[in-house]
């Protein structure tokens, strides 16, 4: 019994001695390096890396030949500038996004006379997004709220949920519900994958498909018999999008992303016209090519 106590005391003393040496770390290149004694009196250097900050985010600015939203053409015969700032903390994220049109023109989806009277450069949209993401292994679940501050149409709000699975094609399903001006539900399914090209440069490919279901009177479709939007509410497969681009690191945490997007209607309803008027009250969809470049700073 006494011999056992002596062994325990000796082990405790050795552990305390090792802990004392470990606690007396020294700074090497700004990092704490602890020297842990080995069996033969030599030392092993153990570097303690600084903990990652719980705050992360990005700031970007994009320049494109068109502004397309869910297949709708919201700019024409001009270019757009789109600044974006996003900050995240422990799953919570806040994003501020804007669109600046270099020269306002009417489109299939923009016909507001008061807005179109303001020709020239126009900051015509600023959106605010608040969200929370919960991760379970490779599955990310996100819920959030979006406020659309638009000049070319009535401002509105949406709530949304997104489920994304981190695997080969990163499938993501998102559901958006308008809770203000344009009662309806939009579903979007997307996939994406990046391929290494050279050093840290990647080729980024993605595709998405949208389905829309209008639920209030705003979404009544155009009827030739009445010459007005008095038909059934617009519902159907809506927009498709194919995207290709490169991510090119140019400095620490800074990248340039040239890209091209091909938008197209997914159904005959989405591109339908009746007596020269769009079947969809928000405007018909057409095949559209978007090109541009993003400059992104991550922090």
- The CA distance from 81 to 100, in Å, is 5
Write the pLDDT tens digit of every residue in 26-81: 333 444 444 444 444 444 444 455 566 789 999 999 999 999 999 999 999 999 99
Which of the four pLDDT bands, split at 50, 70 and 90, describes residue 120? confident
Which of the four pLDDT bands, split at 50, 70 and 90, describes residue 272? very high
Write the pLDDT tens digit of every residue in 234-265: 999 999 999 999 999 999 999 999 999 999 99
Domains of the chain: 2-48 (no CATH), 55-298 (2.40.160.40)
Please name the residues in contact with 60: beta carbons below 8 A apart, sequence gap of 6 or more. Answer: 83, 84, 85, 294, 295, 296, 297
Q: 3-17, 36-50, 204-218 — which one is most confidently predicted on average?
A: 204-218
22 has pLDDT over 70 = no
10 has pLDDT over 70 = no
1 has pLDDT over 60 = no
Please name the residues in contact with 165: beta carbons below 8 A apart, sequence gap of 6 or more. Answer: 138, 139, 140, 171, 172
**Mean per-residue pLDDT over the chain, rounded:** 87
Predicted TM-score (pTM) of this structure: 0.81
**Mean of pLDDT values over 116-137:** 91
Which of the four pLDDT bands, split at 50, 70 and 90, describes residue 112? confident
9 has pLDDT over 80 = no
Decide: helix, strand or coil at residue 10: helix
Please name the residues in contact with 161: beta carbons below 8 A apart, sequence gap of 6 or more. Answer: 141, 142, 143, 174, 175
């Amino acid at each position: 019994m006494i011999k056992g106590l002596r062994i325990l005391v000796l082990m405790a003393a050795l552990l305390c001695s090792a802990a004392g040496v470990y606690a007396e770390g020294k700074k090497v290149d700004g990092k704490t390096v602890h020297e842990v004694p080995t069996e033969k009196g030599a030392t092993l250097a153990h570097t303690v890396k600084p903990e990652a900050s719980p705050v992360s985010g990005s700031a970007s600015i994009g320049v494109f030949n068109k502004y397309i939203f869910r297949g709708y053409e919201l700019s024409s015969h001009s270019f757009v500038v789109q600044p974006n700032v996003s900050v995240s903390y422990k799953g919570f994220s806040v994003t501020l996004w804007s669109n600046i049109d270099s020269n306002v023109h009417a489109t299939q989806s923009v016909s507001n006379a008061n807005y179109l009277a303001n020709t020239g450069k126009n900051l015509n949209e600023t959106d605010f997004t608040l969200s929370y993401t919960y991760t379970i292994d490779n599955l990310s679940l996100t819920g959030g709220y979006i406020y659309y501050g638009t000049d070319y149409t009535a401002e509105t709000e949406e709530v949304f949920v997104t489920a994304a699975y981190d695997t080969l094609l990163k499938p993501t399903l998102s559901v958006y519900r308008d809770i203000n001006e344009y009662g309806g539900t939009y579903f979007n399914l997307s996939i994406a994958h990046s391929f290494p090209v050279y050093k840290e440069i990647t080729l980024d490919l993605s595709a998405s498909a949208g389905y829309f279901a209008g639920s209030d009177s705003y979404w009544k479709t155009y009827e030739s018999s009445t010459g007005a939007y008095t038909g059934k509410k617009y519902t159907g497969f809506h927009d498709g999008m194919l995207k290709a681009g490169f991510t090119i690191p140019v400095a620490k945490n800074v990248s340039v992303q040239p890209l091209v997007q091909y938008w197209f209607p997914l159904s005959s309803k989405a591109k339908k016209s009746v007596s020269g008027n769009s079947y969809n009250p928000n405007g018909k969809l057409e095949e559209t090519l978007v090109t541009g470049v993003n400059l992104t700073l991550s922090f």
